[in-house]
Each structure stands twice: as C-alpha cells, then as structure tokens.
Structure 1
Amino acid sequence: MIIIQIHLVFDGGLAKGVEILKHWLGPLCLSAAAAIWGGMYVVSKVVLACIPSWILLEWRFVIALFILGLWALRKREWRVKPGDLWLFALIGLVGYTGSIGLQFIGTHLSGAAMGSLITSASPALISLFAWWILKEKLNLSKTSALLLATIGVLIVSDLTGLTASSPSFAGNLALIGAALTWALYTVLSRLKTVTYTSLTVTFWANTFGVIFTAPFFVWEYRNHPFTVPHSLWIWIGILYIGIISTALAFYLWNKGFEYVDAATGSLFFFIQPIVGSLLGAFTLGEKLSWNFYLGALLIAGGIYLSALKKSDKRHSLSKMM
C-alpha cells in the first residue's frame, strides 16, 4: 500500500509539473524570441557597418536554413503538400525578405533603439490583418489599439522634422513597412501552424526567404563591393544573427503560439523594444529623446488594448501538431 501511495503521489506530482511547464512554456518561448530580436538590433547595427544589408540578410537566411534543415530532417518534419507551397512562398516573401529586409535597412539608417521601437507596433497591426484575412471581428478595443499604436509610431518617427532626403526619414519609413509586413507574416503563419508543426513552417518560410532574397544579394554584391571582414567579433555577430536571431528565435516565436492565444501572445513582442532600446543606449550610446518615451507609452497602450479581449480557445500542442 505504501509503495502504491508513493507511486500515486509521484505520478500526480509529475502530471502537475507537466501542466505547470505547459502553462509557462508559451510565455517563456515568446519572451525569449522577443528578447533575442531586441538584442539583434544592436548586433546588426554593428555588423551592418561592415557588411551591406542584403548581403548580410542572405547570409543570415542561409546559415539559419542549414540549422533548420538538419533539424527538420532529423525530426522528419520537412514534408508538406505541394498545394501548400505557394502560401509558404508568400510567408517567406512577406516575413523574411520583406519584413526583415526593411528592418535591416531601417536599423542601419535610423538606429537600434528606433528600429526596435517602431516595429513593435506590429502586434496592434495584427488585428487589422486578422480582420481582413481571418475574418475576425475588429471591435472597439482593437480599433483603439490600432489608433494608439499608429499615433505612437508617428511620434517616435518624428517625420515632421526631417526632410525627404534625410537618412533617418527613409530609415523610419522602412521600419514602418517592416512593422506592417511582420503583422501580415504573423497572420499568414498562423494559417499554416494549424496543420503543420512550428519547425515545418519555419523551415519552409526560411527556404523561400533564401530564394527571394537571392536577387537582392546579387544586385548589391555587384553594385556595392565590400571587403570580407577579418574581425572575429563581426563573424560572431553574423553567426548570432543567423543561428540565434533567425533559426532559434523564429522557431520559438511560432512555438509559443502553440500554448498562448494570439491576443495574449502578441503582447510579448513589446519585450523586443525594451531590450533593444536599453542595449542601444548602453552599448551604442544612442540617446533616447522625449519622442521615444511618449511614443513607447502610446504603443504600449495600443498593444495592451489589443490584448484585452483574450480568446477563450487555447491551441493545445496536439491540435497544432
């Protein structure tokens, strides 16, 4: 009897531990992904001083694809239906070549803090694309979130004080485009994570990211020749961007949504500008003006409103797989 009771207590404790792990796994994955991307803005700012944007972007995707490819082959999670490839291609074009390409350009021209903050408006923008593509209702809370985030982005961008020829003007516009395309990428990805694993979706999106970025890589390589860096730190930064910020972070972001609903999960994206801004200020000496703090407050308010209406449905791991 004592042995049986011990087994029951052990099994009950183990089951409870598993439930607790599942409860925290989603937030942990999303927080880790957002924090990694926040740090990426600082790393990419340094690396972009030595390597042109599109060349670095293609290197990033190729490195990530190598890691994801080995991982997908090992777990046998690379097979998809031929009819689904067009949507994976669209996800790769919008989320990888489009959004990340604009992020790199914008960060190079505007700075790490500005880059991480403006693109943090994406969670509120997700509501708009969810209404358009997924036919979700755009209620008062979501509309208010979109308005607050939009105003916050305009204040942070400070476009009124810049001329059209200013590098920061072009950089901020690129970052706004990155926020829009990231929101669209997130909604499109959710269409496929219902039927495929996070690893499968990430692998194929990355694959098409390599394909669609290749022409830009060739164009920039021919028109903007550069010297391959000899600094060990630059190469460590390149590997960080490819392995950690792309292969790992994208997987963690998709994995997190297997345990957390969209409204709640999008809120964790705001960890990115917090990390990016602090690292940009302390490591690169970037100054944070009143526009930054006011815009950050409004964007945070928009994202908070977008998460007020939480979905009652939770996507379990079995359903997502």
Structure 2
Amino acid sequence: MFVVSKWSFAFVPPVTMGFFRVALGALALWLGVVATNRRGSRGGDGGAGIDRADWPAFVGLGGWVAVTIATQFLGTELTNASQGSLLTVLTPVFAVVLGASVLGERITRSKAGGIALAAVGTAVVLAGQYDLTTIAAGNAVGVGLLVVASFAWAGYTVWGVSVVRKYSALTAATYSTIAATPMLAVLAAIELAVLGRGIGSIPVTAESIFATAYLGLASTAAAWYLWYKGLEFVSAGTVAVFYFLQPVVGISLGALLLGEQIGAGFVVGSLVVGIGVWIVSRDRTDNDREQRSGHDQ
C-alpha cells in the first residue's frame, strides 16, 4: 500500500487519492453486504438491522478512518522510507495502550514481552534496509502526521471492537468506510482548491486506474474487512501486534517485485518479529477467550 500510494502521488494529490481509495472501498464493501444479505449470511443486514442508537458509533469510526487516510497519505508524501516504515509500527503500541485503558484488556507478561520483541525485530529489519540516521533529518510535519495516523488507526481498531462484536466485521467495515467517504470528499475538495486544481485535472490513465483499484479493493475493502474480522476472535491488542509484520512484508515485496537487495539484518530481524508475533498470538487472555466464545456462540 505504501509503495503504490507513494507512486500514485505523482499524478493524483494525496488526500484526493485517499478519497478515491475509500470511495471505491466503500462501494466494494457495500456490494459485499448486499451479496451476503441475499444469501442470508451474518453481516449482510444492509443497514436495516442496525439500531438507530448505534449509527453515531459508525460515524465515529468513519471519523477515525478519515483522519487516518488524510494524515497517512500526507505524511507518506512528506517523509522518507525509513521514517514511514518506523513510525507506522507505533500503531500496535497505541492499540495496546488504548485497549487497556478504554476496553480494560489485560496485558500479560508474555504479551508485553512478545510486543517488545517484535518491536526490536522491526528496528533490526529497518536498520538493515535504511540509514536510520536520516530519520531525524526528515520533514517534522510529515513525521507528526504519521504519528497521528498511527494513533487514529489504533482508535479505529479499539473503538471498533464493540461494533464488530455486536454486528459483524463486514457490517462494521462497510458502514464506517461509507461514513468516511463524504468526510474525505470535503478534505479532497479543500486540497484541490489549495493546489488550484479541478477534478478534471486528475489524469485518467492506466496507472491512475490501477493505483485506485489496488488501494480501494485490496488495501481498503479486503484489508479493512480482514482486520475487523480478526477482532471477532481476539482482543484489539492481539490483532494490532500483526502490524509489526508490515515492514517485513513491504521490504519482501520490494525485493520480489522491484529487485531491491535485502541483507542479513533483514533476515534476523524478520525472525525476531515473527517470534514476537507468535508469542502474542499464542497468549490467550481472558479478553481473547471471551471474544472467541462469543463468536462461536
């Protein structure tokens, strides 16, 4: 997602691309709701089964989405690769802290140890690929935006737990994404006005169509649904620790698709990250057991 979005900013402004991404993702998710509704599957309620009192929760989740996308894409545009990769892994840290303070999720010693180990492994991975001395030399505004993006995604994760548990991952992902779409439309309009550009200035090319399709269908509709699907089984802190795998996957794809070189530090760091994630995923807190029991019922 970071590779494709950074590449797409050459022809579509960041927030505007964020709007296109979320709008397409919302459409794909809504079609998924319609399809499951026809089959009578759980989660395909089409909105009819949502209590009126819960709609503000969906709008609130949409707000977290809008903040995440706007700050993430602007921050990615303003920072270098090492800054972006390192700062985005603040998400699991924020999610664990919010999960404990907002939801009362228990942080066991093994979970804390696994998270710490995964964080160390991530640092080793990034040190093996990037010159980390350039982190402090980058754009301070971009760094700040990425920190906000990491916190906002943690908020989307934690405050989404109750909605996912009451309805379903598909319902929660769909209507929060739909709620975020007009918010990002306003921000995109402001961005284009500041840049002195109109919507007609956005090129309709094979590249822009591919970027929008990938970001909207894979990085939004599929990824956000699967992210929330994890919350049906385990706690927010457990789900969020898998975010540490993001730099490992991103660098691996860079090597596979772009021919980038990876060194021994990447291999060692990846193993450490994997061990840390495995420890956390094996740790079953009371919260995890309750959520799995509720899902099975």
Deviation at 1:257, TM superposition (A): 3.1
Structure 1: distance between partners of 2:148 and 2:159? 17
1:237 alignment partner in structure 2: 211
Deviation by residue 1:59-86 (Cα, 9 ceiling, x = unmatched)? 1111112222222234134231111111
Structure 2 residue aligned with 1:130, among 86, 90, 99? 99
Matched, 1:182 2:158: no
Deviation at 1:265, TM superposition (A): 3.4
* 2:88/2:147 contact within 8 Å kept: yes
For normalisation by structure 1, the TM-score amounts to: 0.71
Deviation by residue 1:201-224 (Cα, 9 ceiling, x = unmatched)? 011110121122222111111111
Matched, 1:41 2:2: yes
Structure 1: distance between partners of 2:242 and 2:196? 39
Structure 2 residue aligned with 1:266, among 233, 240, 252? 240
Deviation at 1:259, TM superposition (A): 3.8
SS in 1 for 2:160: helix
- Which amino acid is 1:184 matched to? G
2:223 alignment partner in structure 1: 249
1:37 alignment partner in structure 2: none
Structure 2: distance between partners of 1:61 and 1:141? 36
1:193 alignment partner in structure 2: 164
* 2:157/2:236 contact within 8 Å kept: no
Deviation at 1:239, TM superposition (A): 1.0
Q: Which moved more, 1:146-155 or 1:67-76?
A: 146-155
Deviation at 1:186, TM superposition (A): 0.7
1:59 alignment partner in structure 2: 20
State the structure with more CA Rg.
1
Deviation by residue 1:4-26 (Cα, 9 ceiling, x = unmatched)? xxxxxxxxxxxxxxxxxxxxxxx
2:41 alignment partner in structure 1: none
The structure-2 alpha-carbon separation of the partners of 1:308 and 1:121, relative to structure 1 and needing over 3 Å to count, comes to: farther
Structure 2: distance between partners of 1:244 and 1:160? 31
User: Which runs of 5 or more residues in structure 2 are unaligned?
Assistant: 38-44
1:120 alignment partner in structure 2: 89
- Which amino acid is 2:240 matched to? S
* 2:16/2:188 contact within 8 Å kept: yes
RMSD: 3.6
* 1:261/1:314 contact within 8 Å kept: no
Deviation at 1:106, TM superposition (A): 2.1
Structure 2 residue aligned with 1:87, among 33, 49, 57? 57
Structure 2: distance between partners of 1:73 and 1:60? 20
Deviation at 1:171, TM superposition (A): 2.4
1:27 alignment partner in structure 2: none
- Which amino acid is 1:180 matched to? F
Deviation at 1:237, TM superposition (A): 1.2
The structure-2 alpha-carbon separation of the partners of 1:242 and 1:83, relative to structure 1 and needing over 3 Å to count, comes to: same
Structure 1: distance between partners of 2:241 and 2:87? 15
Matching of residues 159-308 of structure 1 within 5 Å: 162=136, 166-167=138-139, 169-226=140-197, 227-280=201-254, 307=281
Matched, 1:101 2:54: no
Structure 1: distance between partners of 2:23 and 2:271? 37
- Which amino acid is 1:269 matched to? Y
Deviation at 1:103, TM superposition (A): 1.7
